Amino acid sequence: MSDSKPIGLFARYLTLWVFLCIVAGIALGSLFPAGFQALGGMEVAHINLPVAILIWAMILPMLLKIDYSALHKVWDHRRGIAVTLGVNWLFKPFCMALLGYISVYHLFASFLDASMLDGYFAGLVILAAAPCTAMVFVWSKLTHGDAQFTLSQVALNDVVMVFAFAPIVALLLGFASVTVPWETLLLSVLLYILAPVLVAYVWRKHLLKRGTFDLVLQRLDPLSMAALLLTVVLLFAFQGQAILQQPLVIAILAVPIVIQVYGTFGLAYLLNRRLGVQHSVAAPSALIGASNFFELAVATAIALFGFESGAALATVVGVLVEVPVMLTLVSIVNRSKGWYEQPLK
């Protein structure tokens, strides 16, 4: 009983915890900039190692629950897979291009530096063209999503990304070609899929053999939730000074990102319901469709436009928006399960 309390407490006061972590992160980043700059600089191929460790703490419990011998059954969820692939690659980047164009060049142009407009727009497009690889395991876990489906969908998205990311970005930005930061993409696949899956597979067999599987999962769940909250603190601490120095620009760039995330999620969730996809698959399908691979987006923006560019700042805003906004979608998914499972009229 006591092991379940942290999860219940986390879920019950989700909005409060996230808000407090955001405030704490901004405050800590402003008070101790040198320390957090040092932590933020602990990167390999633009992947922050402290955050990567926290992501491992978050995703391992879900990966442990996967029955790897049953992965072949994922074909039964092909409608959910089709929805996710469709919204990720045929809708989201083009939706963001439209929203970014309206926001950056028209609605908020008078509030932004004219010389930075093209960079802001480019960063928004790059962000939307990179579907998430790691954090979606966390969102799926929090919505009791089908673990086999989630793993298979993320792996499939990564395969598609190898071929589709650069052409879509090039098309929407009018470039002849886009140089993909392959070291970031490949390291992310290794770090967030191949390595943790292998560890979880071996560890799962060991725990089942010893009969301690359920006990270990119970102990890992509170750790997983603590890692999620600490991730929010770190992400905002890394950008604490930037938030305080450019609050208006960051708020403006957050507008199209938030609209796109909610819009993509809503489309995927409704399509899954219309197609009769079960809720445990529809939830991760919609959340995978909505979320972004911010490490790849940041690396691409820096490679194309430079570290101090508007494009880099726009992708960093995506980092700040990602966790709190996705947690609200988790709440929507959980609260709407009864409605979702009602028969269509």
Identify the segments of the chain with pLDDT beneath 70: 1-14, 176
Integer-rounded Cα Rg, in Å, for the chain is 20
pLDDT given for residue 241 in this prediction: 82
Residue 102, domain member (yes or no): yes
Residue 159, domain member (yes or no): yes
Neighbours of 284 (CB within 10 A): 28
- Look at the chain and report how many structural domains it folds into: 1
Rounded Cα gap, residues 324 and 28, in angstroms: 18
End-to-end CA distance of the chain: 40
pLDDT given for residue 75 in this prediction: 82
Q: In Å, what is the CA distance from 75 to each residue of 21, 63, 149?
A: 39, 19, 9
Residue 33, domain member (yes or no): yes
Residue 130, domain member (yes or no): yes
Residue 231, domain member (yes or no): yes
- Domain containing residue 111: CATH number: 1.20.1530.20
Q: Domain range holding 324?
A: 2-340
pLDDT given for residue 28 in this prediction: 94
pLDDT given for residue 100 in this prediction: 96
Strand partners, 44: 47
Residue 59, domain member (yes or no): yes
pLDDT given for residue 9 in this prediction: 60
